Amino acid sequence: MQKILVARPIFPDVIERLKQYFDVDWNQGDVLSADELTRRLADKDGALTAGDPVGAAELAAAPRLRVVANMAVGYNNFDMAAFNAANVLGTNTPDVLNESTADFGWALMMAAARRITESEHWLRAGQWQKWAYDAFLGSDLHGSTLGVIGMGRIGQALARRAKGFNMQVIYHNRSRVAPEIEAELNAEYASKQDLLRRADHVVLVLPYTKENHHTIGAAELALMKPTATLTNIARGGIVDDVALVEALRSKQIAAAGLDVFEGEPNLNQDLLSVPNVVLTPHIASATEATRRAMANLAADNLIAGLGEGPRAGRPLNPVNPDVIGKARS
């Protein structure tokens, strides 16, 4: 029986599914250190990860490893050059989290725009003594301009929601989406600089790559309106958190909503002392239905990738499909 590592705690019923096919080593505790991950991968044929870094060193120490299934859309935790060189297949879990993540992005954007977290902290501190016409004045979403950077599946789901708020949608993407999608979403393509200047609410939904590192930094924040908000539901590192702290403190922009951070779960401690930012711990896809769908899809990919089950040899979501069928090198 082939051996696999499940590197994070996940739903026990998904583990039971995997046990039908594999000898399962299941980490039910804290995140594995790099050394422990390497040690436990050493005799494995496959692995199910959730953001755990897997690169050349881990692959070299695990000569049997052929498939690593990530329980996430992003796979920047994989060194894809090393995966391709070793003919190791990586998979991800797109689509199943689009709507839940878009819902959360909308909630985070609205909380930032309407100063919900800031006002709740003030109330909990016992400072609410009277109604005041100018207390916690925020900005409207309805009738405003939404700027989406990264018009993939989740970006498009956000744009669909904007219709109900009568918002103008502008977007920037590595390439323009099809004309029929632009028409459906009533979305206008714009350069990044133009989008930042025009948008009342900017939402980031692009993958993390070396090229996308600090897509939003001091220069980009300086282009935004002083009344604008910035929401990041993409990946940490896309925003320069140091520059963002300064922009929020100086009111260069009005507010921000962040679900992801550079170096998470560690984060820039200065963010904790800035009142005009809403902070959440990477939970945009955190509904039970969606997380179950992600776990099961990752399991499906691992089962099929290791040649088991009804889709043997044909995983649904390969990120480097060219290695399928090639011997491990």
Structure tokens at 58: 């881990």
pLDDT digits (tens, 9 = 90+) for 202-211: 999 999 999 9
Can you spell out the DSSP letters for 267-307?
--GGGGG-TTEEE--S-TT-SHHHHHHHHHHHHHHHHHHTT
**pLDDT band for position 329 (cuts 50, 70, 90):** confident
98-279 shares the fold of 3-96+288-323 = yes
Q: Are the beta carbons of 251 and 118 closer than 8 angstroms?
A: no
Tokens 């990264």 locate to 150
Residue 221: exposure state from Cβ atoms within 10 A (0-12, 13-18, ≥19):
buried
Predicted pLDDT of residue 160:
98
Q: Are the beta carbons of 233 and 149 closer than 8 angstroms?
A: no
**Which is it for strands 46-49 and 23-26: parallel, antiparallel or unpaired?**
unpaired
Predicted pLDDT of residue 254:
98
Radius of gyration of the chain (CA): 22
pLDDT digits (tens, 9 = 90+) for 235-290: 999 999 999 999 999 999 999 999 999 999 999 999 999 999 999 999 999 999 99
**pLDDT band for position 10 (cuts 50, 70, 90):** very high
φ/ψ of 94, rounded to 5, equals: -75, 170
| CATH number belonging to the domain at 3-96+288-323, selected among 3.40.440.10, 3.40.50.720, 3.90.1170.50, 3.50.40.10 | 3.40.50.720
Residue 29: exposure state from Cβ atoms within 10 A (0-12, 13-18, ≥19):
exposed
What interhelical angle do 288-305 and 12-19 show, nearest 10? Answer: 20
Identify the bridge partners of residue 204 per DSSP, sorted by sequence position: 149, 232
Residue 258: exposure state from Cβ atoms within 10 A (0-12, 13-18, ≥19):
buried
Predicted pLDDT of residue 143:
98
Structure tokens at 134: 């100018």
**Which is it for strands 67-70 and 89-91: parallel, antiparallel or unpaired?**
parallel
**pLDDT band for position 86 (cuts 50, 70, 90):** very high
Q: Which residues are catalytic?
A: 235, 264, 282
Region 98-279: CATH code: 3.40.50.720
Could you tell me which of 250, 258, 248, 263 has the C-alpha nearest to residue 278?
258
Predicted pLDDT of residue 326:
94
pLDDT digits (tens, 9 = 90+) for 224-244: 999 999 999 999 999 999 999
On the question of pLDDT at 328 being above 90, the answer is yes
Instruction: Give the mean model confidence (pLDDT) for residues 211-232.
Output: 98
Q: Are the beta carbons of 160 and 172 closer than 8 angstroms?
A: no
Could you tell me which of 135, 131, 176 has the C-alpha nearest to residue 152?
176
Instruction: Give the mean model confidence (pLDDT) for residues 162-176.
Output: 97
Secondary structure class of 33 (helix, strand, coil): coil
Structure tokens at 278: 């809403």
Instruction: Give the mean model confidence (pLDDT) for residues 89-109.
Output: 98
Instruction: Give the mean model confidence (pLDDT) for residues 3-25.
Output: 98
Amino acid sitting at position 28: Q
pLDDT digits (tens, 9 = 90+) for 170-195: 999 999 999 999 999 999 999 999 99
Fill in the DSSP letter of residue 266.
S
Predicted pLDDT of residue 61:
97
Helix (H) or strand (E) holding 218, with range, is helix 218-223
On the question of pLDDT at 323 being above 90, the answer is yes
Predicted pLDDT of residue 283:
97
Q: Where are the domains of the chain?
A: 3-96+288-323, 98-279
Average pLDDT, the chain: 97
Secondary structure class of 120 (helix, strand, coil): helix
Predicted pLDDT of residue 30:
93
Q: What percent of the chain has pLDDT above 90?
A: 99
